[in-house]
């Protein structure tokens, strides 16, 4: 999410942080493994659920390596091709296409809960600032994520959206943050980013010359190492923290890049 203000611009990113639910993630894992058990069985290439779990974990590790090293996010097709290769299976095109569509749409079919406070706070911020999203995509592409935001009456609050599968580059690459600042007609030192990952959100935004607020309400695994200019656990804290940082920035402009 990007926030750009009327009296200057302020940037924030929530991306996936506004849609986190560990229970939903666990259910999605079970459902996706069961689908692969059935598809492989129908192909005469049966594999155990444990073998499928290991293949998906290997595919995730490969995805993570590309994401970290190359600053881009492989598509669901590429990730599932890696998983099938790990299992020693080359599925027919129609099976691969059906599996990819299933994985891509899981975020809609098993929609996660919106983080408490988001549906109230974002309209408040949108009345004062321009908002945008910066999101590194996984299995779910931008088309699915936009539909998910639309279902929750959030999409129209954003002036622009940056999804890595559409743009080709992912966080923490500084070009991502600078691109969104350009689209909001603002400078990085007039921008603030909100996210839940130290590596991609907080360090990435700060390296691009922006302030960064670390949202710990979705997960707090990076809390001990966070370099965020502010840390919050409840989304309702964001307006006050944002106002405080805006005032401080007006007095002492951020110069990090």
Cα 12 to Cα 79, 105, 109, 194, distances in angstroms? 29, 26, 28, 4
199 and 235 housed in the same domain: yes
149 and 174 housed in the same domain: yes
Q: Is residue 256 part of a domain?
A: no
Structure tokens at 246: 């805006």
60 and 156 housed in the same domain: no
Q: Tens of pLDDT along the chain (257 residues)? A: 655 543 333 344 444 334 445 677 888 999 999 999 999 999 999 999 999 999 999 999 999 999 999 999 999 999 999 999 999 999 999 999 999 999 999 999 998 889 999 999 999 999 999 999 999 999 999 999 999 999 999 999 999 999 999 999 999 999 999 999 999 999 999 889 999 999 999 999 999 999 999 999 989 999 999 999 999 999 999 999 998 988 776 655 554 54
169 and 63 housed in the same domain: no
At which of 49, 80, 109 does a domain end? 109
Contact 139, 16 (CB under 8 A): no
At which of 109, 128, 163 does a domain end? 109
| Residue 198 DSSP one-character state | I
Q: Is the dihedral of CA 223, 187, 117, 140 positive or negative?
A: negative
Q: What's residue 251's pLDDT?
A: 57
CA dihedral 72, 76, 78, 81 (to 10 degrees): 150
Q: What's residue 113's pLDDT?
A: 87
The phi, psi pair for 133, rounded to 5°, reads -115, 135
Q: What is the CATH number of the domain that holds 119?
A: 3.40.50.1000
88 and 133 housed in the same domain: no
64 and 8 housed in the same domain: no
Domain of 153, in residue numbers: 2-20+114-251
What's the pTM value of the predicted model, to 2 decimals? 0.89
Contact 209, 202 (CB under 8 A): no
How far apart CA 202 and CA 228 sit, in angstroms, is 6
9 and 77 housed in the same domain: no
At which of 109, 126, 152 does a domain end? 109
230 and 203 housed in the same domain: yes
How far apart CA 198 and CA 156 sit, in angstroms, is 28
Helices of type H across the chain:
22-42, 49-70, 76-87, 93-109, 118-126, 142-151, 164-167, 174-183, 203-207, 238-251
The phi, psi pair for 253, rounded to 5°, reads -55, 140
177 and 241 housed in the same domain: yes
Peptide bond before residue 172 is cis, with ω within 30 degrees of 0: yes
Question: Which residues make Cβ contacts (< 8 Å) with residue 186, sequence separation at least 6?
Answer: 4, 8, 9, 11
Task: Please classify residue 81 by burial: count the beta carbons closer than 10 Å to its beta carbon, then call 0-12 exposed, 13-18 middle and 19+ buried.
Answer: middle
Structure tokens at 61: 């590790």
How far apart CA 4 and CA 63 sit, in angstroms, is 32
Report the domain count for the chain: 2
Q: Is residue 257 part of a domain?
A: no
């Amino acid at each position: 999410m990007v926030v750009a203000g009327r009296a200057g611009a302020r940037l924030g990113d929530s991306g996936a942080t506004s849609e986190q639910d560990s229970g939903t993630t666990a259910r999605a894992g079970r459902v996706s493994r069961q689908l692969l058990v059935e598809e492989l069985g129908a192909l005469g290439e049966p594999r155990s659920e444990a073998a499928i779990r290991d293949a998906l974990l290997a595919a995730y590790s490969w995805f993570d390596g590309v994401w970290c090293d190359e600053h881009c996010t492989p598509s669901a097709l590429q990730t599932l091709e890696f998983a099938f290769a790990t299992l020693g299976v080359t599925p027919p095109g129609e099976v691969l296409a059906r599996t990819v569509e299933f994985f891509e749409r899981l975020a809609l079919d098993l929609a996660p809960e919106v983080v408490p406070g988001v549906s109230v706070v974002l309209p408040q911020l949108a009345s004062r600032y321009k908002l945008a999203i910066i999101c590194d995509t996984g299995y779910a592409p931008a088309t699915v994520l936009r539909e998910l935001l639309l279902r929750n009456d959030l999409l129209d609050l954003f002036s622009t959206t940056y999804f890595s599968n559409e743009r080709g580059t992912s966080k923490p690459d500084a070009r991502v943050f600078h691109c969104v600042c350009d689209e909001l007609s603002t400078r990085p030192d007039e921008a603030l980013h909100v996210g839940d990952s130290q590596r991609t959100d907080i360090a990435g935004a700060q390296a691009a010359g922006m302030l960064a607020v670390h949202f710990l309400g979705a997960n707090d695994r990076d809390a001990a190492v966070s370099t965020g200019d502010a840390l919050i656990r409840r989304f309702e804290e964001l307006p006050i923290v944002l106002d405080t940082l805006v005032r401080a920035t007006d007095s002492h402009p951020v110069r990090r890049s």
